[in-house]
Structure 1
């Protein structure tokens, strides 16, 4: 894991190793134009660039076939390396495609969005969406390296930057009360993201190291995601109403903080602090009350569930999450109605 201005030279050194025979760079339409030029002095001669369409709509098995076809036609063997240059869609999909090609070739992550730098590229989760459900197909596979260059953040618009910031806030709420206290009056008015990225990545790595396959402690990282993924999946099926992942997670954190309070875990004072802070940064996600039951239904596909029980990560206090908390569809719908009323 390399974070900061020295990360791209480290990537160059990695790709020059004798064990690396072929290099394939996965980009989308955006990173091909805005980020790939920054790698011109890093990539070895003769590498192949594979471009996929940009956007969550293309995080599918059909898009994986584009990469698998390129690898197969180039006769790529297990000495090949896939370089995923992009945001969460590229790093998730590229990692998944590499992990299953010939039962696994090495891949490295070069995340270009804040969301990918602090979350999607870290921890070894890969996957694609299926039948309208987020990350329904995937495998745990650690990358051969993660190279985080904060300069890529200069290519983002404010909305994309805020989307990634939601995952940093999540890390504070589940395991870093001091981080929340230090930053709640700062928000995204950040001059240098490098220290925040390092802290956030280190926190996630500590949790993942103790539970790499998400059988226990790692479930803390899903705070905001049970309701958030349900909301994101529902709106992805509504043309013109799609929202970014971090926007959904921010809404999910409000809902799940409220559920924490309803279950006697989180104080009213801390709930208010969380809501005030999140609404100072994020726009409210728009839906109507009549949609809440339909949105809640998507939570039945959540990967943390056990049988018919919906397991949620809640908060005992700011900085202290608790996982495997059962919630009902009715409670999820009610949390969405609460969010709608705010």
Structure 2
């Protein structure tokens, strides 16, 4: 499966040309309440031509990335007369592009869609790889498809609409790309003095290129692509658990904790030396406010981990860095090893 073309910069010209060259029976923009107000008007104002379109709006947040929301979207498409020659344009963060891609790739067995990621997280992560999906009772991305969009359109000016917390959430995935595949990328990002849209823009395509290279070698996640899950086995569990609280973590915030704990796990397995484990921890500590994990929740976290998609034969399967810039996969870890890594993290943070 070849990756969809990715265009970076002046995206309205590309979208204009594409819509001129293709006769779609109907066009649908999928947005949430935030991107409806802050991003869609920017995009529409930049288009040279006016096109008839409908807007589908969903509530913002990971907690809404579920089958109930998608069912309502399918019904809306049907009520509005969408057919197999319609186009869906997803304008939003990873929730919108994940869910919108799933909605489009399954409606009438698949209609075309374009992703316009508007958060840093979605630009560097969800934009590449053709993964679309929804959560199932809090279990992350349990139902989905591998379907590439027609194209991905990335405009860094959308980042100017984000709060710093959202920027830092996306930065986490960029740092992960460095840890698993490119030490220079890690070093460059850790050494940045500020992390605003202008500072990060030169490194966005570097992150995208790292992920693209991995995905094109293993599009269906049979082997190498699993390294992109570093930090996610534990991070997704922490994120899922936090979604049930009053103040849920953002995806990147949970993944940072996951990467640190999995670095301790890699060290305990003899994969990562203490010096580089310390460098990883120190790098994240310089960028993120970290707190301990309540270990009374550990049984719940293990339950979330037991549903991870990489697992096989009821064993919890990890992708772990063996040095900064290199990662291995299919590492089985016991519940006791995982708990000890949590305890090491808590001791380090404290």
TM-score range, shorter chain: over 0.9
Aligned match of 1:7: 11
C-alpha deviation, 1:214, in angstroms: 0.4
For the structure 1 residues 47 and 262, does the alpha-carbon distance in structure 2 shift closer, same or farther, using more than 3 Å as the test?
same
In structure 2, C-alpha distance between the alignment counterparts of 1:56 and 1:248, rounded to whole Å? 13
Aligned match of 1:207: 214
Aligned match of 1:25: 29
1:1-342 to 2 correspondence within 5 Å? 1-41=5-45, 42=47, 44-186=50-192, 188-190=194-196, 191-238=198-245, 240-341=246-347, 342=349
What secondary structure is seen at the aligned counterpart in 2 of 1:16? helix
What secondary structure is seen at the aligned counterpart in 1 of 2:169? helix
In structure 2, C-alpha distance between the alignment counterparts of 1:18 and 1:199, rounded to whole Å? 31
Runs of 5+ consecutive residues of structure 1 not aligned to the other structure: none
TM-score, normalisation: structure 2:
0.94
How many residue pairs get aligned? The number is: 341
What secondary structure is seen at the aligned counterpart in 2 of 1:160? helix
Contact 1:248 1:285 in 2 (8 A): no
Cα deviation digits, residues 278-307 of structure 1 (max 9, x gap)? 111112145322222321221000000012
In structure 1, C-alpha distance between the alignment counterparts of 2:292 and 2:33, rounded to whole Å? 28
C-alpha deviation, 1:329, in angstroms: 2.2
Runs of 5+ consecutive residues of structure 2 not aligned to the other structure: none
Contact 2:112 2:150 in 1 (8 A): yes
Contact 1:98 1:106 in 2 (8 A): yes
What secondary structure is seen at the aligned counterpart in 1 of 2:220? coil
Q: Which consecutive aligned stretches of 4+ in structure 1 deviate over 6 angstroms post-superposition?
A: none
Q: CA RMSD in A?
A: 1.4
C-alpha deviation, 1:187, in angstroms: 5.8
Cα deviation digits, residues 190-227 of structure 1 (max 9, x gap)? 53432211100011001000110000000010000000
What secondary structure is seen at the aligned counterpart in 2 of 1:304? coil
TM-score, normalisation: structure 1:
0.96
Contact 1:28 1:53 in 2 (8 A): yes
C-alpha deviation, 1:330, in angstroms: 2.3
In structure 2, C-alpha distance between the alignment counterparts of 1:112 and 1:44, rounded to whole Å? 22
